[in-house]
Amino acid sequence: MNISYHGHSVVKVETNGKVILFDPFINGNPLTDLKVEEEHPDVIILTHGHGDHVGDTVEIAKQSGALVIANNEIANYLSWQGVDTHAMHIGGAYDFDFGRVKLTPAFHGSAMITEEKEIIYLGMPTGVLLTAEGKTIYHAGDTGLFSDMKLIGERHPIDIAFLPIGDNFTMGPEDAALAAEFLQAKIVVPIHYNTFPPIKQDPHRFLHLLKQGNGKIMKAGDVLTY
């Protein structure tokens, strides 16, 4: 299994012969090393409906034939655009041929804002637990700190957790450090920071706040192999 980070909240997992892409915000992402035309994942998983997470999903899915996994509202919205989708919702899990996906709560928003100044509601935001090859990855999506992260960690031994630290829109470093303590993940990787001025953060400060010393800063293109 290869797990790579690609700026903002973009994570790629290669497992069981499949490529899984989380929140593929590529065009407009100054921190990514990816190019839309070069991405051919088998699966795209979305945490919520904001543009910096749905990103280039439609174009990538159409060019690759990828299955898009998301909450029911996002899945329906994207299916109307000709994308193959699998709808889920918070608390639900499903066994796919590449592994098991479970959606968890996240405390945030989830909507598209159109050029016509309309807001399209896209359901509840989520985190994602992906279990494959005996490993569990937790992508928290965009969220504030919440105490049920303790329950997520107790019920699902997590090998690597991707946690937002940008503050302003999500947890900041202090709250994310407490989230890491709740989750008890073996490795914690900060995401969703430095992409835009309001979420400017020093990831080394976040690592310093971690009591267990289990943080790892990943630059765009860095890979963890299991």
pLDDT (tens digit per residue) in 134-143: 999 999 999 9
pLDDT (tens digit per residue) in 148-199: 999 999 999 999 999 999 999 999 999 999 999 999 999 999 999 999 999 9
- Interval 42-63 mean pLDDT: 98
Q: Rounded to two decimals, what is the model's pTM? A: 0.97
Q: Going by C-beta distance under 8 Å and a sequence separation of 6 or more, which residues neighbour residue 219?
A: 5
Which domain does 203 fall in, by range?
Answer: 2-217
Contact 2, 221 (CB under 8 A): no
Q: How do the residues of the chain divide into helix, strand and coil, expressed in percent and rounded to 5?
A: 25, 30, 50
Q: Going by C-beta distance under 8 Å and a sequence separation of 6 or more, which residues neighbour residue 126?
A: 47, 48, 71, 89, 90, 103, 104, 105, 106, 141
Contact 119, 145 (CB under 8 A): no
Residue 103 falls inside a structural domain: yes
- Interval 49-63 mean pLDDT: 98
pLDDT at 195: 98
Q: How many beta carbons lie within 10 A of that of residue 10, not counting itself?
A: 27
Residue 182 falls inside a structural domain: yes
Domain with residue 191: its CATH number is 3.60.15.10
Count of domains for the chain:
1
Residue 69 falls inside a structural domain: yes
- Kindly state the tokens that stand for 166: 């940008």
- Interval 63-80 mean pLDDT: 98
pLDDT at 186: 97
Residue 117 falls inside a structural domain: yes
Contact 172, 202 (CB under 8 A): no
Percentage of the chain with pLDDT > 70? 100
Residue 224 falls inside a structural domain: no
Contact 176, 146 (CB under 8 A): no
Residue 225 falls inside a structural domain: no
Residue 226 falls inside a structural domain: no
Q: Using 50, 70 and 90 to split pLDDT, how confident is the model at 220?
A: very high
Vertex 171: Cα angle to 33 and 107 (nearest 5): 100
Residue 45 falls inside a structural domain: yes
